[in-house]
Amino acid sequence: MVERIELTDEQMDRIFHALSQTTRRDMLRRTLEAERSVSELAREYDMSFAAVHKHLSVLERAELVIKRAEGRERRIRANPDMIARARTLLAQYEAMWRARIARLDELLAEDPKPSDPNTSA
């Protein structure tokens, strides 16, 4: 089975939105280290439980984290597959811009310096 690497525009928007906020990036980092309960994560931040839950919902909608029930507890872990897909997307953007800059460098190297119109021959 071939894994789909490309992301839709909507998925990319959700990922970039999720990663645009410091607290969410920190939550993602913590869930990369180990699976945590929502309560455990909430204790790490100076904000309400509801605010933590909203941040986690944004990460979950972007598919950067996976939430699962374990009894009465909700456990959160990072989704390495989506993180890898996002990394691949960013690598593609990097390659595209590096190629454009290289092409611009080539064009500038080929172009002779313009002559000064104020200088007489």
Structural domains in the chain, sorted by start: 9-107 (1.10.10.10)
Model pLDDT, residue 119: 60
Report CA-CA distances (Å) from 76 to 51, 53, 89.
15, 11, 24
Residue 33 has pLDDT above 60, yes or no: yes
- pLDDT of 114 reads 66
Question: Cα-flanking dihedrals φ and ψ of residue 37, to 5°?
Answer: -80, 160
Distance CA 65, CA 34 (A): 12
Question: Which residue has better confidence, 121 or 89?
Answer: 89
Judged by average pLDDT, the poorest of 13-17, 89-93, 116-120 is 116-120
Indicate the average pLDDT of the chain: 88
pLDDT higher than 60, residue 1: no
Asked if 62 contacts 15 with a C-beta cutoff of 8 angstroms, the reply is yes
